[in-house]
A and B are shown apart, each in its own frame.
Chain A
């Protein structure tokens, strides 16, 4: 099977490509994104006129629910959402039901991924058994079963000794720790940023210090243990500063930000609208600006969706009792493009944050149109407008604060290992 993508603007940050041209694919692999291979006779030609052709997106934090949470969403529903969003690789947080803490669950996930026709789903293994934060999981077995990293999702690790041991053990097997910085006790079961808005509405609140203190501790342990750490879903200014300092100091760490944190602040929350209930909470304008600068200056190298689809009931109730999280795969690209339109980052940077950079975090041969790599390709029309409504929306979770909004930028084709998994 040979595919040629014609007339598009190819943007491939890892290879420094940004020019008009064709991409050549054979047997699921990239053959060339520069010159026409001799005697290439395509079976399929995709016309990408006025469109951008770039590597498929890699999402570092996703929840597809299913298994014990299938009323919220299933692999079947969510891979359609992912494909329509140009996402070709997903990292699954370990807080599934059951938790990803045994090879059997990893196998089950692989099976569900195959069945849904979307094989590139990577499990993040639980750092501790049942995510309870007390005993180490069988990390080596998890790695051998296919886990791409380990992490404790949003669950606390009981104490710093357990975290130290876990990081030492992960480092012994060259496993990446994907760490969500949140001090459970300082978080105090809050549901909103500790600031003027939570104060006005009497919402239990989470200070930035809950994030920055946990982050600082983990940075110290990264140095002590030599464990590779990726800090997920940063939300505040001082986290950006701390990561910046750590990198300057020479620690091998990386970080991502959930795309909604780059656009929304506490002030955007309509009173008690559970669509805005996310963890970490939406913070201040200053935090948002720092996160954007962190992205522009490569302190933060990846943008993730932090996709968390919910059923209707999970979001119906008084704000503090609703479940946190947004369904956000499908708004990933338009929200990234909005950053470009607002001159926060360049288009090349935005694409790199969704492809080459997360690939580097995961040490995957992916996220680029390099010859020999799996042909994961996203083709999008940056000018095409579309509305977030039930006609266009694929995810089973309609929990997005952007419902009804019109966005610019839509994926027209998604190829996963050379297979067209989405066509508009």
Chain B
């Protein structure tokens, strides 16, 4: 089962729904493009005009603060117009179907949907159903995928440990319910990591987890040996009420990351967490705020990576019917579609003209 839905005829990114089926070179292109955007946020005028005139709708069927905010910032830094729709509290609670919501927004001439939904496959469904000029970015669907989170984590790892082929990465916690874990595993394997290890009790591991290309451990102290990157996952409170775990304290005792346990990993290991953190449940504050933690770096990298993905997906976008589409409508500018990733810096707007 390959997933060509997200690529256009030339093999370029059209939608970004999952890491699965994307090549190493495409993932590297995302990382390189993000690299070129990383500086933008530090400029006095934090904008490039790449997506000027484009309308991006943040369609959040599930609540989120961090992801939505970074997507919003990424879009505004690309000069797009952004609409935030918190559907969790609006239309669908009035009985409107997912499809009707999409159809209505489509007729408002939007160019991109950034979608978060509680059900696996929602982003795929929207990408299949939506008008051909619209790109869909998956901001997390059920337990399936969260590809931008995975890419911002790859970006963070690459900044600190550029050679993936020598990396041993441990992902610790609720793999079963984690879309982040699935996307991280696929990204790490595609980029050629030496080993991806999942560490969790059996109740938090999906069936046939090895088929994802990971090794498995049920013991944190054993599992952390030789590890270069420690990825912690958030533990949802409802896992206790659904009989997957006995208590937070027992979980912390077995799988909580403390300074002492971190010493088992390689001395220069980095600690990551997609947030929001449950201090004292999956991670000790001393580790979360300690020198090996890159958790806040992940957050700021989220903007550059999301800018990269949005810019790449919009470059391939076909012009909307009856409208002037494409990035090249900005006067005096080169056709953005022909820009190499590193060339995005050369846009005049980058120097503050926008």
Contact = CB atoms under 8 A, between A and B. Distances in A.
Interface of A: 194-205, 207, 267, 269-272, 313, 316-321
Interface string B1-44: 10101000000000000001000000000000000000000000
Contacts of A203: 120-121, 142-144
B97 A200 contact: no
Nearest to B120: A202
Given A271-B1, A317-B98, A200 B121 contact: no
Interface stretch (B208-216, B304-312, B344-352): B208-216
A319 B207 contact: no
B208 A199 contact: yes
Contact of B207 (A195, A313, A317): A195
A195 B208 contact: yes
Of the four ranges (under 10, 10 to 19, 20 to 34, 35 or more), the interface on chain B belongs to 20 to 34
B206 A198 contact: yes
A200 B120 CA distance: 11
Interface string B282-323: 000000000000000000000000000000000000000000
Interface string B104-130: 000000000000010111101100010
Given A198-B206, A200-B20, A203-B143, A272 B121 contact: yes
Interface in B160-182: 179, 182
B121 A269 contact: no
A201 B208 contact: no
A320 B211 contact: no
A316 B121 contact: no
B72 interface: no
Given A196-B208, A318-B125, A313 B97 contact: yes
A277 to B, nearest CB: 10
Given A202-B182, A203-B143, A271-B3, A320 B119 contact: yes
Contacts of B98: 317-318
B120 A201 contact: yes
Contact of B141 (A199, A205, A318): A318
A240 B119 CA distance: 33
A6 to B, nearest CB: 49
B145 A198 contact: no
A317 B99 CA distance: 7
B96 to A, nearest CB: 12
B201 to A, nearest CB: 16
A51 to B, nearest CB: 39
A197 B1 CA distance: 9
A317 B125 contact: yes
A205 B207 contact: yes
For the complex of A and B, 10 pairs with smallest distance between CB atoms: A202-B143, A272-B121, A202-B144, A318-B119, A318-B122, A196-B211, A319-B121, A199-B206, A202-B120, A196-B208
28 contacts: A195-B207, A195-B208, A198-B207, A199-B206, A199-B207, A199-B209, A199-B211, A202-B142, A202-B143, A202-B144, A202-B182, A203-B120, A204-B143, A205-B207, A267-B1, A271-B5, A271-B121, A272-B121, A316-B97, A316-B99, A316-B125, A317-B97, A318-B117, A318-B120, A319-B120, A319-B125, A320-B119, A321-B119
Contact of B1 (A198, A269, A318): A269
B1 A320 contact: no
Most buried by B among A197, A204, A313, A319: A319
A267 B122 CA distance: 20
B208 A202 contact: no
B99 A201 contact: no
Contacts of B121: 201, 203, 271-272, 318-320
Contacts of A319: 119-121, 125
A200 B144 CA distance: 7
Most buried by A among B20, B98, B121, B212: B121
A199 B120 CA distance: 11
Nearest to A316: B99
A201 B124 CA distance: 11
Interface in B187-206: 206
B305 to A, nearest CB: 21
Interface string B141-164: 111110000000000000000000
